[in-house]
């Protein structure tokens, strides 16, 4: 899936069954390359996600002189160069479609003694970057954006970074991680206060690489995270669990299909990532965890899902940061639920790979769902769909494409989804697994 003219055609309905394993967690895959490269010694990674986004991170560190062998069926060997061992790349570092890679890399590169430029594809070039350039500038970094705070990012050497106390205006794991990575190179102790819980893979992995990060609860929502500059990272082997964001499509699929019984194996169930499970359970989903274990400090389990009759709910705002990437497919679940589902406090969805509020409202409306976008969320009235159109525009957003495939389970006719090439960024074998569990999805290439 490498051209820009790929269409998905999904047949209505389907019976879901079996056991599958989805690709490795993208968030952990990104961070494993970053910290393995900056560590002293050799890091072995298994289960690495071989999608375009995480491969862009891998290539960037290779271009900065890091010896990385692989990936080979998810296995990677990294010869770390230490915190000060990176070399100036010969060209701009291309982050492709990955906002995570660009924002986290900016924190690392802010502390380097050489100039770099971070670029991305057309979609990434419209993503807001002031949320990371503002705290980095406050630390003394020399960093600039294009017009309106968009990429590319140009980073020049600074005499020294200084620690700051940063109160994040909104909950964002990417911003938190960026500041913590810059804190590795800063004089003093950098602290970040997040207004609500976000994924904590960065903190866990830093600790796993022998670099102390202290997290302290301030109240039920706020957390203070502190890191002292000037230490070193020690190589650490990483087993990347399956990505709950990828599993989410199959969790919703089994929930809304008839007579389904599906097991998704070895999924990371870090509590900062399980908002999708919490939301669906509030709606009445039948989800159970089996074979729970810890892998490298990350909780992992097999997730069993059976068919359920869902009911509409008001989604608690405290769950929004814990399910931010899963809302396209949560909207699909809501479209089948009895009554209204109301989402608020999710403005962040408007500045993802697409405006996921408007794009999903348009897509659901096209297949006959009552979906009303609001400034910070959506109101969806569930029920059986009455076909309006079979043509869906994904706006080059992989999660829109995959979510609307799952919508086919409750559709009255074939759904055709345009611009699906970006599914390869996060889920290279999505089509294969969808057909394996009992749906009918075909791929067409124009031209």
Q: Which residues are catalytic?
A: 325
362, containing H or E segment? helix 356-366
Report the candidate in 367, 444, 443, 372 with the shortest Cα–Cα distance to residue 408: 367
> How many C-alpha atoms does 214 have within 13 Å on its Cβ side?
9
| Cα–Cα distances in angstroms (integers) from residue 445 to residues 182, 247, 394, 407, 418, in the given order | 43, 26, 15, 21, 10
Cβ atoms of 35 and 233 within 8 Å: the answer is yes
Q: Which two tokens stand for residue 385?
A: 């769909």
Nearby residues of 219 by Cβ (< 8 Å), 6 or more positions away: none
At 160 the three-state DSSP class reads: coil
Q: How far is CA 122 from the centre of its chain?
A: 18
287, containing H or E segment? strand 286-295
Verify cis geometry, omega within 30 degrees of 0, for the bond prior to 228.
no
Reading across the β-sheet that carries 116-119, which strands appear in turn? 93-94, 116-119, 153-156, 142-144
Q: What is the DSSP string of 214-244?
A: EEEE-SSS-EEEEEESS---B---EEPPBPH
User: Could you identify the residue written with the tokens 């924002």?
Assistant: 103
At 173 the three-state DSSP class reads: helix
At 371 the three-state DSSP class reads: strand
Q: Which residue blocks in 22-172 are alpha helix, DSSP H?
A: 26-38, 52-63, 99-109, 130-138
Report the candidate in 164, 162, 43, 37 with the shortest Cα–Cα distance to residue 101: 37
């Amino acid at each position: 899936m490498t051209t820009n003219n790929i269409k998905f055609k999904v047949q209505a309905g389907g019976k879901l069954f079996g056991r599958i394993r989805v690709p490795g967690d993208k968030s952990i895959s990104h961070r494993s390359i970053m910290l393995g490269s900056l560590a002293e010694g050799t890091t072995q990674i298994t289960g690495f996600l071989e999608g375009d986004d995480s491969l862009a991170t891998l290539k960037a560190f290779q271009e900065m002189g890091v010896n990385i062998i692989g990936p080979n069926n998810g296995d990677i060997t990294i010869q770390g160069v230490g915190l000060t061992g990176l070399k100036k790349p010969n060209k701009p570092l291309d982050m492709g479609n990955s906002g995570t890679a660009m924002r986290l890399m900016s924190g690392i590169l802010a502390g380097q003694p050489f100039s770099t430029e971070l670029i991305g594809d057309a979609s990434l070039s419209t993503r807001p970057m002031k949320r990371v350039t503002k705290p980095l500038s406050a630390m003394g970094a020399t960093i600039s954006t294009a017009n309106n705070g968009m990429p590319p990012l140009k980073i020049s050497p600074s005499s020294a970074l200084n620690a700051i106390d940063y109160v994040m205006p909104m909950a964002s794991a990417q911003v938190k991680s960026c500041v913590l990575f810059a804190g590795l190179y800063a004089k003093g102790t950098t602290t970040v206060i997040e207004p609500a819980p976000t994924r904590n893979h960065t903190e866990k992995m830093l600790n796993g690489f022998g670099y102390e990060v202290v997290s302290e609860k301030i109240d039920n929502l706020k957390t203070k995270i502190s890191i002292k500059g000037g230490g070193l990272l020690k190589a650490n082997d990483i087993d990347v669990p399956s990505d709950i964001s990828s599993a989410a499509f199959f969790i919703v699929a089994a929930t809304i299909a008839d007579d389904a019984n599906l097991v998704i194996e070895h999924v990371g169930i870090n509590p900062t990532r399980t908002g999708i499970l919490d939301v669906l359970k509030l709606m009445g989903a039948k989800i159970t965890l089996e074979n729970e274990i810890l892998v490298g400090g990350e909780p992992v389990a097999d997730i069993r899902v059976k068919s359920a009759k869902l009911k509409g709910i008001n989604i608690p705002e405290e769950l929004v940061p814990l399910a931010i990437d899963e809302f396209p497919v949560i909207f699909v679940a809501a479209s089948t639920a009895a009554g209204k589902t109301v989402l608020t406090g999710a403005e962040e969805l408007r500045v993802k790979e697409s405006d996921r509020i408007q794009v999903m409202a348009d897509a659901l409306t096209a297949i006959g769902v009552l979906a009303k976008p609001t400034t910070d969320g959506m109101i969806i009235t569930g029920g059986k769909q009455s076909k309006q159109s079979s043509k869906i525009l994904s706006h080059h957003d992989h999660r829109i494409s995959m979510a609307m495939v799952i919508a086919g389970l409750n559709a009255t006719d074939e759904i055709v989804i345009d611009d699906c090439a970006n599914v390869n960024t996060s889920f290279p074998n999505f089509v294969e697994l969808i057909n394996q569990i009992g749906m009918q999805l075909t791929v067409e290439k124009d031209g």
